[in-house]
Structure 1
Amino acid sequence: MILKYKTIVALLFFTATIISCDVDRLPETTVSDESFWKTENDLKSAANYFYSRFAILPVTSDIMSDDAYGSFPDAISDGSRIAGSTDDNLIYTYKYDYTTIRAANNLIEKSTIALSSGVLEQNVNWYVGEAKYFRAWSYYQLLQRYGGVPLILKTLTENSPELQAPQASREEIINAIYADLDDAVLKLRTATQLGTENYGRISQTAALTLKAQVALFEGTRAKFHGYGDPIKHLTIAKNASYQVMNSGQHRLFNNYFQLLQYEGEGFLNKENIVVKQYGKSITENTISHNSQRTLELGGSNPTKALADSYLMTDGLTITKSPLYVTPTKTAEVFINRDPRMGARFLKTGDPYITSTPVFTVPNLGFTKTGFANRSYANMADWTNSNSYIDQPVTRYAEVLLIYAESTFELNNSISDNDLNLSINLLRERVSMPKLTNAFVAANNLDMRTEIRRERRVELALEGFRYWDLIRWKTAEIELPKEVLGSFFFTEFGTSSIPLLNEENFIITQRSTTRKFNASRDYLWPFPNNEIGLNPNLKQNPNW
């Protein structure tokens, strides 16, 4: 079956009460746990629960970074947050991830019941592989935020001593993630084997890609923060990404804008590696989102910093290119720019909403930066207040970017051949000139900067930027800066003039109200209630 959420809604309550309770207490239920795990369908039903754990659209986490600004200041972005009693206001929480981990532990352990009941070992392995993927994924979310956390690889009872386990080290968490993903690769099916019927389930290349993601994060974080063994992790990132590239399972979709549209959905789009799927229509509205309306009202407005990162069509920045002409109106901002900018920013002439079929100028009452987010824009969905466009959680484009960055960071250099295998495929899709060592040298560019720029624009407004700043140790440089938006063109009108700087750019937040404590903010604070439940859980430094 296609893994649309209509296939799991009826099972969600049952599965959640059986396998996704908090780590500190088992639920009481009238259904015997052991009686549930005897068929392949039982395992599939339990594994389906994991797919509900991906965050629901729209992606607004970029407001934690310098790429986007919401309707008001973000406490993580501007450094004003405090260690709270809980973290329930966040997209992912400490408790949320351990709920997923417990569900994975339970499926892995109970799979032996299915084996003893006659389910084929190969078929059991498919769902064990999915559980190991999601256990690794959950520990990766925890590692990014908190660093070392308690490592729990079995289902606990209310009396288990592990409920008060201290943090494991970063290396122990990373090694557990690698072990889970290596085993998952052996157990899972390829994307081709999953086919249309099982499209959306986790594949071998999904597990390899997560391994590459984790390894790049830890390898670059170790390199720029000065700890651990960055060469080990960067080598793993390069090798895992190359395995995906060499698998023959994936290729780039032919239209960048349509990646976040209905045209980009389904098995025929080989760029999609992991996808958050939604219903099909209003009549099959099992799960939907309302991204366009949320973004229209200012959920995640692109900043000047992001806008300026897009190159001109000659491959040079707006400060170096002879093609750049100072714009006199909003439409001119997009002239001779990397086409990916116009795919993620609304511009004059784009289809918009029912009441305004053609976009003209951003509404500064909602769009605080003067730049409007075009992600998932669809007029019919806006009219219906429901969208069913799937979210590509992991795209093959990211694999190419991981390969390029890990290759460069291993040796502080990258060959033109490796650029052609990776970044230049992304540029070819949007008819941008190739990145070469000769071009970098001739134009006094920096290769690391250009590789990072490519990642920024290719994955723009998909939720990556904050964690990139964290691993590169540049958050302390970028986040305290003043948050600027568009030039204030006369088209915006004079009925409500925003705060402007001396160059007439919109100021959405002054630098005087922003800070980043490098001795504290590269790790998140553990929720105080979790420390109360586990006295061996030590708060991160300076929180």
Structure 2
Amino acid sequence: MKKLYILLVVGASLMMSACSDFLDREPLTTPNSETFLSNASAVNNYINGLYIALPSFGTYDMGVRGEEKNSDNIVAEVYDKRLNGELQENGGGSTEWQKGYQNLRNVNYFFEYYKVPETEETKDVLSMKGEAYFFRAYWHFYLLTRFGSIPVMDSFWDRNATVGGLQIPPRDRSAVAQFILDDLNTAKELLHPRSQYKGLRVCKEAAIIMAMRVALYEGTWEKYHKGTDFAAAEDKSADLLGQVLTLGDELFGMGLTLNTKATDKSAVNIEDAYAHVFNSKDLSDMTEVVFWKKYSIADGVIHNLSSNLGAGYVDNSGPAGLSQSLVDNYLNADGTPIDPADGIFKDFNLTFKGRDGRLLATVMHSNCKFKSTSPESKSKAMLVEEYSEENKSVVRPPYLTEGGPARNATGYHIRMSIDTTYVSGQGETSLPMIRYAEALLAYAEAAEELGKCTPAVLEKTLKPLRERAGVTYADPSEIDPNFTDFGYAISANLQEIRRERRAELALQGFRLDDLMRWRAHKLIQGKRGTGAYFGTDGVLYKAFDPKSAADLKTILTTDGWLDPQKELLPRGYQFDSNRDYLLPVPPSEISLNHELKQNPGWQRK
């Protein structure tokens, strides 16, 4: 019966469509709708089905790990069309709109038909009800980040399946954000703590961190977009950022800790404590990870990420690589920033020497093991040094000569989530979805935006993150002239908070949202990502067989750095800062719901 209910939910989600299709939809066929969700077992089975739509590692693709080609963290030959201003009003946001509202309909079906008698509402049942509130908040936030002001689906809209009933006005983005925060507050009061399910289900701590994410996003969006066409009707940034601090103060008393070398008995190298958050199979005892997805061959839930990483994939749709700007973001281990113009970084090996452990855990570098063709074979190590007949059978340089998605475009492969058993095929490495580290970063950023970021705040937030990565911590005091230029001045504190956020959350799906809420179009317009140095005098070039090195089909900058998008984007990305911060509302939805308005810049004359 359990499998039956889950299949019904999955089947329904595949058949459901956005509000423009309500009038054509067949009646719900879930048996006994009026009594379907009247006991704990049915509630459990239905809520389990809602987890399926959350981000995951793909069965065939990179999933979350390859998502950030929509930002400056990954350089891909199949580039992101939004960054290049190529989206069209018709189709530009249809998939996202449909996905968001489909999933909201699934959640609101639960609220519509939830009939568990009050006498049978155990703590477990109430916690599952809290999970439903979490999911409703999650999918509204998904839509908010893409479309801004939207109609809030706070009830089961099938009751409104007439043209008149679907004339639902959007709420201003501030009101949408507050609705989300209210749902998360309700969820927080109902949910079990992490300890109940060891992070395998949404928990109280996850709801708090999610609320911090939402309040930080909207608070900074309203601050940096104030006075533009993307602004909220009323600037409530101070209130929202204040909520981040209030939530953080509550969270800090709940006993969460980072995974560190002191607590991780298997950590040996500087990068291990951070790496183990992403390359472990079981995160039950790692309280830093408050919500995670388990993969298990025994349970029949597996992913293909291990095979893809072993094959060198960064983006499964074509050649790609991690960007030089991401690599340059990481500090030296002594806490000082690098100077990207320093000639030592033409040497691939020296690029990683004495650096932040998170760089080592995120990006493949010399002597990293990562390649296996069968469970019995030993992994190969990546090596970047002069080619020799002796080393060619046991080591390989970056996969610059492969075909299709296996060809690396920048010289920088992904190391994060590498299966340390080096068995390709059925992947079992877990997927952390919500982490305590995110809360530390959100708290620090909100405090600085409010002028409340004291040294004590940074010592509570940035310091433990840096020290976990083997980086000496010191209070920020000076602006790094080589740091990312956002097109407006930021404080030394905020510079280091943003640096830390990029380092800690790299390849986890945060970067695009950060660029959008910070109004960071200067990082995108006219820019394209580059890769490692590949001049003929460099160690990376010399790592290839001299017989074939001269035939490598690489595209370089004038001074010898890999520039894979040079011919594709000769003028760099053409992001339209008057339009592309939000996706277009599907015209079909506007035709049906006349209360909707098109987002700025998408109205075509």
Normalization by structure 2: what TM-score?
0.80
Matches within 5 A, 1:427-446: 427-438=466-477, 446=492
| Alpha carbons 2:84, 2:574 under 8 Å: kept | yes
Structure 2 distance, partners of 1:505, 1:320, is: 12
In structure 2, the partner of 1:450 is 496
**1:270 Cα shift?**
0.5
Structure 2 distance, partners of 1:82, 1:102, is: 27
1:505 and 2:541 aligned: no
Matches within 5 A, 1:131-146: 131-146=132-147
- Given the superposition, is the C-alpha separation of residues 441 and 471 from structure 1 closer, same or farther in structure 2, using an over 3 Å criterion? closer
In structure 1, the partner of 2:49 is 49
SS at 1:178 equivalent: helix
In structure 2, the partner of 1:213 is 213
In structure 2, the partner of 1:418 is 457
| Alpha carbons 2:278, 2:432 under 8 Å: kept | yes
Structure 2 distance, partners of 1:344, 1:386, is: 21
The letter of the residue matching 2:571 is T
Structure 2 distance, partners of 1:465, 1:30, is: 39
In structure 1, the partner of 2:285 is 268
1:125 and 2:126 aligned: yes
1:391 and 2:411 aligned: no
| Alpha carbons 2:279, 2:420 under 8 Å: kept | no
RMSD (CA atoms)? 2.7
**1:438 Cα shift?**
4.8
Structure 1 distance, partners of 2:79, 2:12, is: 40
| Alpha carbons 1:17, 1:27 under 8 Å: kept | no
**1:29 Cα shift?**
1.6
In structure 2, the partner of 1:286 is 301
SS at 1:36 equivalent: coil
Structure 2 distance, partners of 1:359, 1:84, is: 45
**1:528 Cα shift?**
3.4
| Alpha carbons 2:370, 2:422 under 8 Å: kept | no
**1:26-57 Cα distance to aligned partner (Å, 9 max, x none):** 64426111231121011111111121111222
| Alpha carbons 2:36, 2:113 under 8 Å: kept | no
1:315 and 2:332 aligned: no
Structure 1 distance, partners of 2:10, 2:589, is: 22
Structure 1 distance, partners of 2:32, 2:149, is: 35
| Bigger mean CA deviation after superposition, 154-163 or 229-238 | 154-163
**1:412-464 Cα distance to aligned partner (Å, 9 max, x none):** x6222111110100011122111314577999982211110000011111111
- Given the superposition, is the C-alpha separation of residues 205 and 310 from structure 1 closer, same or farther in structure 2, using an over 3 Å criterion? same
**1:388-434 Cα distance to aligned partner (Å, 9 max, x none):** 211111111111001111111101x6222111110100011122111
In structure 2, the partner of 1:79 is 85
The letter of the residue matching 1:244 is L
| Bigger mean CA deviation after superposition, 452-461 or 236-245 | 236-245
In structure 1, the partner of 2:393 is none
In structure 2, the partner of 1:375 is 416
**1:50-104 Cα distance to aligned partner (Å, 9 max, x none):** 211112223222111111123422212322222233656x6xx211111221122
Structure 2 distance, partners of 1:329, 1:145, is: 40
1:363 and 2:399 aligned: yes
In structure 1, the partner of 2:7 is 13
1:241 and 2:258 aligned: no
SS at 2:432 equivalent: strand
| Bigger mean CA deviation after superposition, 352-361 or 229-238 | 352-361
Normalization by structure 1: what TM-score?
0.89
**1:165 Cα shift?**
1.6
The letter of the residue matching 1:318 is I
Structure 1 distance, partners of 2:202, 2:417, is: 23
In structure 1, the partner of 2:294 is 277
| Bigger mean CA deviation after superposition, 9-18 or 72-81 | 9-18
SS at 1:274 equivalent: strand
In structure 2, the partner of 1:4 is none
Structure 2 distance, partners of 1:308, 1:441, is: 12
In structure 2, the partner of 1:298 is 314
- Given the superposition, is the C-alpha separation of residues 478 and 159 from structure 1 closer, same or farther in structure 2, using an over 3 Å criterion? closer
**Unaligned stretches of 5+ in structure 1?**
1-6
Structure 2 distance, partners of 1:417, 1:98, is: 42
In structure 2, the partner of 1:401 is 441
**1:380 Cα shift?**
5.0
- Given the superposition, is the C-alpha separation of residues 513 and 251 from structure 1 closer, same or farther in structure 2, using an over 3 Å criterion? closer
- What's the % identity of the aligned pairs? 25
Structure 1 distance, partners of 2:347, 2:515, is: 32
SS at 1:418 equivalent: helix
- Given the superposition, is the C-alpha separation of residues 443 and 165 from structure 1 closer, same or farther in structure 2, using an over 3 Å criterion? closer
| Alpha carbons 2:371, 2:422 under 8 Å: kept | no
**1:325 Cα shift?**
6.0
Structure 2 distance, partners of 1:27, 1:353, is: 51
SS at 2:157 equivalent: coil
| Alpha carbons 2:524, 2:575 under 8 Å: kept | no
Structure 2 distance, partners of 1:499, 1:177, is: 46
In structure 1, the partner of 2:67 is 61
- Given the superposition, is the C-alpha separation of residues 292 and 398 from structure 1 closer, same or farther in structure 2, using an over 3 Å criterion? farther
**1:3-42 Cα distance to aligned partner (Å, 9 max, x none):** xxxx975532223456883452464426111231121011
In structure 1, the partner of 2:238 is 231
**What is the count of residue pairs matched by the alignment?**
522
Matches within 5 A, 1:19-38: 21-22=16-17, 23=19, 24=22, 25=25, 27-29=27-29, 31-38=31-38
In structure 1, the partner of 2:348 is 330
The letter of the residue matching 1:428 is E
| Alpha carbons 2:478, 2:492 under 8 Å: kept | no
In structure 1, the partner of 2:508 is 462
Matches within 5 A, 1:157-172: 157=158, 159=161, 161-172=164-175
In structure 2, the partner of 1:174 is 177
Structure 1 distance, partners of 2:595, 2:365, is: 53
In structure 1, the partner of 2:584 is 525
1:487 and 2:533 aligned: yes
SS at 1:424 equivalent: helix
- Given the superposition, is the C-alpha separation of residues 363 and 427 from structure 1 closer, same or farther in structure 2, using an over 3 Å criterion? same
1:539 and 2:598 aligned: yes
Structure 2 distance, partners of 1:209, 1:244, is: 8
| Alpha carbons 2:151, 2:170 under 8 Å: kept | yes
Structure 1 distance, partners of 2:530, 2:578, is: 26
Structure 2 distance, partners of 1:138, 1:163, is: 19
**1:276-328 Cα distance to aligned partner (Å, 9 max, x none):** 332x12x432343435516723316210111111111221222199xx66145
**1:198-225 Cα distance to aligned partner (Å, 9 max, x none):** x411111111111100000011111111
In structure 2, the partner of 1:97 is 100
Structure 2 distance, partners of 1:18, 1:115, is: 26
| Alpha carbons 1:298, 1:368 under 8 Å: kept | no
- Given the superposition, is the C-alpha separation of residues 18 and 145 from structure 1 closer, same or farther in structure 2, using an over 3 Å criterion? closer
**1:358 Cα shift?**
1.2
**1:340-388 Cα distance to aligned partner (Å, 9 max, x none):** 11100011111111156112321124111111111222265652x2212
